[in-house]
Amino acid sequence: MERQRFDFVSFVAVRQFWKVNRRMATTRHTSTTVTFQRPFILDGFEQLQPAGSYTLDIEEELLDALLSPVWKRTSTAMRLTRHGAVEQVPVDPEQLNDALARDAAQPDPAKPLSSSSPEARRHRAYSLLGRLPHRNRR
């Protein structure tokens, strides 16, 4: 009976040791690139940023989960070039997603109009009206 108690206590001690040590090394860092087609600004930026590609640095920590690993985002920072130096500016992920959605929703003036846009339909209607024969009205 004493042997069984020792095994259970050992198991609990090893499990606690593993949890503590696992917690110390359970962060991951990833980098990804986002592209803006137009100038943009987010909270924490001093000025309007030009259109282009920007690198995001994301830090996440592993949470204790029974079925599968779960990662929680702890910080998101965007690399900006200011005065010739690269600086990491913290950004709100939700605000960044909203800005990217707004950027993608705006039509690109360099692209031709789609056939379903109101401007394209109006342009087509005027061009068709121009082809109709004119009658002299008296």
| pLDDT at position 112 | 59
| pLDDT at position 1 | 46
| pLDDT at position 118 | 72
Residue ranges in the chain whose pLDDT is less than 50: 1-6, 9, 137
pLDDT tens, position by position, 95-124: 999 999 998 887 766 665 555 667 777 777
Compute the distance between CA of residue 57 and CA of residue 29 in angstroms, rounded to an integer: 7
Q: How many CA atoms lie within 13 A of 118 on its CB side?
A: 0
| pLDDT at position 60 | 93
| Contact between 92 and 73 (Cβ < 8 Å) | no
